[in-house]
Amino acid sequence: MQPKYFITAIVFALFLSCICLGYSGGSGTSADRYQISVVADWQELMATSGDLDKHFILTADLDLHGVALAPVGAFAGVFDGQGFTLRNVSIDLPARNYVGLFRSLRSGGEVRELGVEDVNITGEQYVGGLVGRTGGTLTSCYAAGDVTGDHRVGGLVGHNNGTLTSCYAAGDVTGDRNVGGLAGENLGTLTCCYAMGQVTGEWYVGGLVGENGHSLYYNLYGTLTSCYAAAQVTAGWRYVGGLVGYNSGMLTGCYATGQVSGLDVGGLVGFHDDGSYTSCFWDSDVNPDVDGVGNIADDPNVIGETTTKMRRESTFTEVGWDFVGIWDIRENQTYPFLREYSPGDVNHDDKVNFLDLAILADNWLAGK
């Protein structure tokens, strides 16, 4: 073979090799996951509908500032963020439904160990900081920033009928109906999740979940276990709760501390339709003129306590809360927090150090 043809053959072979590899490496199987390492990899994922049932791994933090983002389609694969973060996530589609970093997560799909920060998401219905609608599994994921929509709007997910575990959202969530700090509407399972920030809407507005509902047709009940909200909740109309706006599901070992305002207001739940409560609390100093559940004068499993008592471990252990494996507290200083997240570990790197103080100072100066 002549030298020039030999060189051409090598270049062509390398070109084909790059095409076959895709992304920054991998083949998309569970044993050889596609690697998302640079912004171009994320853009490829957005544009490649044939890969939405594949396996992915994020290998670095990515800054998406200035990138023209669209929601990744109906994802049915597995995305492992490995604790890395996508920053400056901005999507503005005010007339579109199913808007988030991911449009939707299908049953069997999974996203884990992924954070999205400096979020600015706008859509119409099914709008979330991470996922518009999910029937899959989210584990150890969070979203921080602003989410705006009309119906079924949440800081992390717009609608959930899957499973969320150890997830949280922080920021401002604004909508009309079914608006929640973490999820706008929940028909699935939330375990060890929380939300903080400001939640504003008209109907069915809650610090964690706007409507925790049930579907007789699908035999689904919204279930919240070991969850809390520390969000200011404001509604122009009805069904407003520190944790849940409108409830017909099951709440176990949950609490709320945020101030609520509107009609049909409750320190924990705005309006009870169906479901049950077990060992739940709300801060009666923060909301002194309301009941724990807006339309129930006295439920023994929805307990109003003063701020002082809400900062004592014994208040919660007396009704069976687990302060070994699930909860922790700084006695007389903090409300209970999930053991997975130390309240001083602002950037969630499993350390409490000067960097956390610097981030806190920056946010304070910015008025956040």
Q: What is the pLDDT, as a whole number, of residue 107?
A: 96
Residue 157 in this model has a pLDDT that exceeds 50: yes
Residue 57 in this model has a pLDDT that exceeds 80: yes
**pLDDT-based confidence at residue 363 (cuts at 50, 70, 90):** low
Per residue in 199-249, pLDDT (tens digit) is 999 999 999 999 998 776 667 789 999 999 999 999 999 999 999 999 999
Region 102-113: mean pLDDT is: 98
Q: What is the pLDDT, as a whole number, of residue 215?
A: 72
Q: Which of 17-21, 26-30, 51-55, 352-356 has the lowest mean pLDDT?
A: 17-21
Q: What is the pLDDT, as a whole number, of residue 4?
A: 44
**pLDDT-based confidence at residue 22 (cuts at 50, 70, 90):** confident
Q: From CA 357, how far away is CA 18, in angstroms rounded?
A: 44
Q: Which long-range contacts (CB under 8 A, 24 or more apart) does 3-9 make?
A: none
Element (H, E) at 10: helix 3-21
Region 349-362: mean pLDDT is: 49
Task: For the chain, give the mean pLDDT.
Answer: 90
The DSSP output letter for 245 is E
Q: What is the DSSP string of 201-214?
A: ESEEEESSEEEE-E
CATH topology for 73-365 is: Pectate Lyase C-like (2.160.20)
Are residues 124 and 96 in contact, defined by beta-carbon separation less than 8 angstroms? yes
**pLDDT-based confidence at residue 18 (cuts at 50, 70, 90):** very low
Based on its alpha-carbon atoms, the radius of gyration of the chain, rounded to whole angstroms, reads 22
Alpha-carbon 29 to chain mean position? 27
Q: Determine how many CB atoms are found less than 10 A away from the CB of residue 42.
A: 21
Q: What is the DSSP string of 248-289?
A: -SEEES-EE-S-EEEEEEESSEEEE-S-EEESEEEETTTSTT
Alpha carbon of 137 to those of 54, 80, 107, 270: distances in Å? 15, 12, 8, 27
- Tokens 């969320």 -> residue: 164
Per residue in 275-325, pLDDT (tens digit) is 999 999 999 999 999 999 999 988 899 999 999 999 999 999 999 999 999
Per residue in 249-264, pLDDT (tens digit) is 999 999 999 999 998 8
Q: From CA 26, how far away is CA 110, in angstroms rounded?
A: 18
**pLDDT-based confidence at residue 8 (cuts at 50, 70, 90):** very low
Q: From CA 137, how far away is CA 77, in angstroms rounded?
A: 11
Q: What is the DSSP string of 142-160?
A: EEEEEEE-SEEEESSEEEE
Residue 354 in this model has a pLDDT that exceeds 70: no
Region 5-22: mean pLDDT is: 41
Token pair, residue 249, equals 């599901």
Q: pTM of this prediction?
A: 0.89
For the ranges 3-7, 14-18, 96-100, the one whose mean pLDDT is highest: 96-100
Element (H, E) at 234: strand 228-241
Residue 21 in this model has a pLDDT that exceeds 70: no
**pLDDT-based confidence at residue 356 (cuts at 50, 70, 90):** low
Q: What is the pLDDT, as a whole number, of residue 367?
A: 54
Residues in the chain: 368
